[in-house]
Chain A
Amino acid sequence: MNRPEPITPQGEPPVSLYARHEPVFNRRIDGKFRRIKWAIMVVCLAIYWFTPWIRWNRGPYAPDQAVLIDLAHRRFYMFGIEIWPQEFYFVAGLLIMAGIGLFLVTSAVGRAWCGYACPQTVWTDLFQHVDRLIDGDRNARFRLYKAPWGPAKIARRVLKWAIYLAISFATGGAWIFYFADAPTLQSQFWHGTAPMVAYGTVFVLTLTTFVLGGFMREQVCIYMCPWPRIQTAMLDEKSLIVTYKDWRGEKRGSLKKAQKNPGEYGDCIDCNQCVAVCPTGIDIREGPQIGCITCGLCIDACDRVMAETGRPRGLIDYATLDDAENEKKGNPPTRHLKLIWRPRTLVYFAVWAGIGFALLFMLGTRTHTGLSVAKDRNPPYILMSDGSVRNGYALRLHNMQNRPRAMELAIEGLPGAVMWTEDMGRAQAARVLTRTVAADATQGVRVYVVAPADSHGQAFAFTLTARGDARESDTAKTQFDAPGDE
């Protein structure tokens, strides 16, 4: 019974879940949203590019780069703000604000992040302009794509990829300047003396920019990025989306057909310009979809066609699903500004602004003096020959200002106790010691506290006060142990 029994062959090949990538050759278009895109691209790239080169004088003891993430020295500088690692919650707070900010923007103006500000969008847009510059507009690029490989095609491709690579290097590579003094690092970079991690970072970021911006493009948005998925969950009937007003556009038909049969066709002349200009290659007339980054280029294209055919603009426009219902009934569209005044947006804004104010408040009231204490636990106390009791403490003094400061370390509580440090001897023991802490640095100090004979174990505290500035102080609570208390 091991003779295989043949089964029916099927006529059709099995259905494949794999779809071959169809390259997008989007047509050049000019219009309101195209110009907004240009402006945002220029502003974003300029901010990204030039920020590391802004100087900011912090005196002789700190770097003069306005924005610097100094991983090597564990400092984060942003203009007048300096963050130490233990204050990283400020950065965490900023990241939380950025996250809620995305929600806020989505609630107020839909997927504006995707359409205008996302680096993937900005670089894809830039690279598509390079395509147009080298290969021509939509049809020329399509012809070249279909053409067999020959010297001319190879030359164009090599030139185009070289420009991709140059842009990738210039933009991806600029990332490293946020992490070290930019002029120094640039000089080191060209002389081959920069750290390996700098070259590695430039290599990786150049490569990812080249691949993501030059080749993967809209596939990142459609297949890789989680944000469109989150967006689909966040959009509601009051969210601004790019809408094809099918109640106005359908039934589609060419101008000729429409002229022949007045009243039968809608405003859409089926010219396909909205599809031709789309950077992600979708047809907006199929309704809201994950591939739509709401960049508005199809609105520009359609508006122009509507103008040319003498019809009112806005067949494709930013509108909400509620608007659609509303306009179908013949009511005028809601004004966009009015959309912002809804509870969801206001709650996001309140949370976002609340975190921002809390951060500003904390930033304004934080001190630049810090003290931490670790008590010796083995042994917990030492009985001295005169009957007094000694405890040891490892203190760390933080001077978080960009100048050396004299600081007073004092014992608070613990009657009769005095202290001395390793480098001074018990003879000079006192209740208040003065230490000079270097600029923007910490100082570790081992302190011996001795309390008179018959002292009991009790809680007390060290205080550290910057001399001449009573606001600048910190207190560290700790414990004093004595015999007979265990």
Chain B
Amino acid sequence: MADTTNSPASAGRRFDEATQTETVGHEWDGIEELNTPLPRWWLWTFYACIVFALGYTVVYPAWPGIHSATQGVFGWTSRGQLASELDAQAATRAKAVAGLADLPIEQLPQHPELMRAAVAGGAAAFKVNCVQCHGSGAAGSKGYPNLNDDDWLWGGDLKTIETTLIHGVRQPGDDMTRQSMMPNFGTDGLLDAGQISAVASYVLSLSGKEKPSAMTQAGAKVFAENCAVCHGDTAKGNRELGAPNLTDAIWLDGGAKADLVAQITHPHHGVMPAWGTRLDPVTIKMLAAYVHSLGGGEEFQAPAVATGAAPAEAATQAVE
């Protein structure tokens, strides 16, 4: 029993003694419920939310059916929203894309705006297509060229990079693919182990990694007879053939003597997809511009002198 005393039922409103709050009028084993209704504003907000929710289910897809849900009178779909967002994105790039499509890549440096757009687009495309081999910083690794340096197997101007990208490296079925095939001097028995060791020493001596000796002299003879035809008499390589410069500091497949011996005995031949069959021309131009922008890009020369580096850079750049 509550601390309250009985009184006639006609009393009407009743108040709890301790709190002076009206009760709901029921009592069970002395327990009473105080009547503390929600504030009006809260209640009206709640009703407004219900009305809003009902309207929401009408205009947006909501009620499930057996095969599909109601479409909603606005016709909104998440796929549609994604499509429109992608379209809006494409629209912001449309001008640059159109400009790049019409422009021969060697003229890109004359258009700084397009160049910036191309480098930015190329950086994004690189992250998707190229990082798997060349690394996210384009620094490559053993067997995979570093694209930041000033050393190019096939040439480092925009046009040449674009050609290399389109046709790939050692791709069967592509006539213009970059194809260089160093013979298996060791495994095919063209040179014996002594000759290979000698020529490896000779090559290392060219960049000062080994001192001249009888061994290197013997190697020089082997080089002149077997290697100079592609790598050149001075071993500076030949971009026409994709023959690397052997006198510089950069070694695609390792610069220790064991690496050289392995390479001469049974060369490693890297490959790159012909991106012309996989990506659109504008994306390839963007990728070429990005790779060119990484710090080792060369100036485009008229085809007559396309085999050499820019004169200003010839002193420090070599042909591998």
Chain A interfacial positions (CB closer than 8 Å to B) = 1-2, 4-10, 14-15, 376-379, 382-388, 390, 392, 422, 425-427, 448, 453
Contact = CB atoms under 8 A, between A and B. Distances in A.
A6 B316 contact: no
Contacts of A2: 26, 28
A7 B4 CA distance: 5
Given A384-B149, A384-B316, 13 more contacts: A4-B25, A6-B11, A7-B27, A10-B15, A14-B22, A378-B136, A379-B138, A379-B139, A384-B249, A385-B317, A390-B148, A425-B310, A427-B313
A385 B149 contact: yes
Given A9-B11, A9-B14, A426-B316, A383 B27 contact: no
A388 B295 CA distance: 14
A425 B299 CA distance: 10
A248 B115 CA distance: 88
A198 to B, nearest CB: 26
Contact of B9 (A1, A6, A386): A6
B5 interface: yes
9 contacts: A6-B14, A7-B16, A7-B23, A14-B20, A14-B22, A384-B150, A387-B248, A425-B313, A427-B313
Given A379-B139, A382-B146, A383-B249, A6 B29 contact: no
A453 B20 CA distance: 91
A382 B249 contact: no
Nearest to A389: B249
B92 interface: no
Interface of B: 1-2, 4-9, 11-17, 20-23, 25-29, 32, 135-139, 146, 148-151, 207, 245, 248-250, 293, 295-296, 310, 312-313, 316-318, 320
**Of B8, B12, B14, B29, most A-chain CB atoms within 10 Å:** B14
B22 A6 contact: no
A6 B7 contact: yes
B4 A385 contact: no
- The B contact surface, by secondary structure, is loop
A384 B312 CA distance: 16
3 closest residue pairs by CB, A with B: A378-B137, A7-B4, A379-B139
Given A6-B9, A8-B17, A382 B139 contact: yes
Most B CB within 10 A of own CB, among A376, A377, A427: A427
Contacts of B27: 4-5, 7
A405 B120 CA distance: 29
B137 A383 contact: no
Nearest to B19: A14
Contact of B293 (A7, A8, A422): A422
Contacts of B4: 7-8
Contacts of B310: 425
Name, among B5, B25, B135, B316, the residue most crowded by chain A CB atoms within 10 Å (CB to CB). Answer: B316
A427 B312 CA distance: 6
A7 B9 contact: no
A382 B9 contact: no
Nearest to A3: B27
Nearest to B4: A7
B7 to A, nearest CB: 5
A390 B295 CA distance: 9
Contacts of A384: 149-151, 249-250, 316
Contacts of B15: 7, 9-10, 14
A392 B148 CA distance: 10
A259 to B, nearest CB: 48
Given A7-B2, A10-B15, A382 B295 contact: yes
Nearest to A7: B4
Contacts of B248: 385-387
Nearest to A2: B28
B7 A8 contact: yes
A15 B20 CA distance: 8
Contacts of A425: 310, 312-313
Contacts of A7: 2, 4-7, 14-17, 23, 27, 32
A385 B245 contact: yes
Contacts of B13: 9
Contacts of A378: 135-137, 139
A426 B313 contact: yes
Nearest to B316: A386
Nearest to B137: A378
A2 B29 CA distance: 9
Nearest to B21: A14
A473 to B, nearest CB: 28
Contact of A4 (B5, B26, B135, B317): B26
Nearest to B15: A10
A111 B166 CA distance: 78
B151 A385 contact: yes
B8 to A, nearest CB: 7
